Homo-oligomer: A and B are copies of this chain.
Amino acid sequence: MRIHVQNPAGTSAFSFTRAQWDAAVKRHPDMRDLEVTIDNSDDGWSAALPVADIVLTWVDIVGAKLRGCDLSHAAPRLKLLSCNSAGVDRLAPFDWLPRDIALLNNSGIHADKAGEFGLMALLMLHNNMPAHIRSQHAQRWAPMHATTLKGRTLVIVGLGAIGGGVARLAKMLGMTIVGVRNGSAPHEYCDEVVSVSDIHKTLVRAEDLVLACPLTKDTRNLLSRERIALLPRGARVINIGRGQLWDQDAVCDALDSGHLQYAFTDVAWSEPVEEGHRLWATPGLILTPHIAADDRDRYNDITLDILFENIRAHAAGRPLPNQIDPVRGY
């Protein structure tokens, strides 16, 4: 089996290296017969694609190079097309994808890192850090006392790797966790799980709300202006999913009116956020540049671990853990 890894042109902190590949094969000796090519040039791509059984690359490269081309001709042997991101929403709709090619995402990559980031955001909002950060900038000593997370009710929308990672840590600190997902199957770290169709009943008791679900046609504007109004006065909201999951302007309005106490977002409708946008300066809002989930030191190692598990499942004829369902969109 031949696998081709296409890195972005130029240099990237997240480009795969031969050393990372070798270390991964050492961890997974059953993968040692894979023939690998790693490249970041157009020539390398053109040479590898016709003979590759597996491609691992970035979602933007798939969008630019594969969507809209005749894959049966350009990549006749391709069986597994793996993206190194958890979200593949930018490739939707998936009508360009032949049925005999499995599109894989990288779900699972973010559990530990995003879990810690989500916990940090919860702790920062509970400890009034948006106010303290402003006071520090104004050089004003203004004590405000807070309480612990213990016993507070946290609603987490999305119980995949990211939402599950947040749930695990928040549960450790003694929060009451209500999960929201498709269906209402129980979850190891949730005290309760409710179906997304009942989300309105859950929002009314959310002291803290975390959005951590994939962006699909069903989840776009999930936290609408009307649903923000359902949250109890003084609630805190955190978005570590996608900007389009919420009505960003309505969140800013709710902060300005005092309906929401604080908010934290790592994502925006349009990224990068341009200078002058109200997201930068709305009081009570912390904005970070889409860095919640990617683990600087371990990203590529975990990516290869996840991919190898899918290659193993493919060889054995088992369902692929990371295969995208083109209809659901994740």
- Min CB distance A302 to B, Å, is 11
The answer on a CB contact under 8 Å between A143 and B273 is: no
Q: Which residues of B contact A277 (CB under 8 A)?
A: 139
A7 to B147, CA, bound (A): 21
The answer on a CB contact under 8 Å between B120 and A286 is: no
Q: Mark A265-278, 1 if CB is under 8 A from B, else 0.
A: 00000011101110
A127 to B114, CA, bound (A): 11
Is A142 at the interface (CB under 8 A from chain B)? Answer: yes
Q: Mark A107-128, 1 if CB is under 8 A from B, else 0.
A: 0000011001101100110111
Interface-side segment among A215-223, A229-237, A287-295: A287-295
Interface-side segment among A61-69, A129-137, A245-253: A129-137
Q: Which residues of B contact A286 (CB under 8 A)?
A: 133, 136
A142 to B280, CA, bound (A): 13
Q: Which residues of B contact A288 (CB under 8 A)?
A: 127, 129, 132, 136
A271 to B141, CA, bound (A): 9
Is A144 at the interface (CB under 8 A from chain B)? Answer: yes
Q: Which residues of B contact A148 (CB under 8 A)?
A: 112-113, 116, 295, 298
A119 to B149, CA, bound (A): 12
From known contacts A112-B150, A150-B112, infer whether A276 and B132 are also in contact, taking CB-CB under 8 Å. no
From known contacts A120-B124, A132-B289, A139-B280, infer whether A147 and B113 are also in contact, taking CB-CB under 8 Å. yes
Is A140 at the interface (CB under 8 A from chain B)? Answer: yes
A169 to B135, CA, bound (A): 28
The answer on a CB contact under 8 Å between A120 and B117 is: no
Known pairs A119-B123, A136-B280, A146-B295. 6 more at Cβ < 8 A? A116-B149, A127-B291, A137-B137, A143-B289, A147-B297, A169-B173
Determine which residue in A139, A145, A276, A290 has the highest number of CB atoms from chain B within 10 A of its CB, and name it.
Answer: A145
From known contacts A116-B173, A127-B117, A173-B116, infer whether A145 and B291 are also in contact, taking CB-CB under 8 Å. yes
The answer on a CB contact under 8 Å between B289 and A142 is: yes
- Min CB distance A278 to B, Å, is 11
Q: Which of B116, B135, B290, B299 contacts A289 (CB 8 A)?
A: B135
Determine which residue in A112, A148, A286 has the highest number of CB atoms from chain B within 10 A of its CB, and name it.
Answer: A148
- Min CB distance A113 to B, Å, is 5
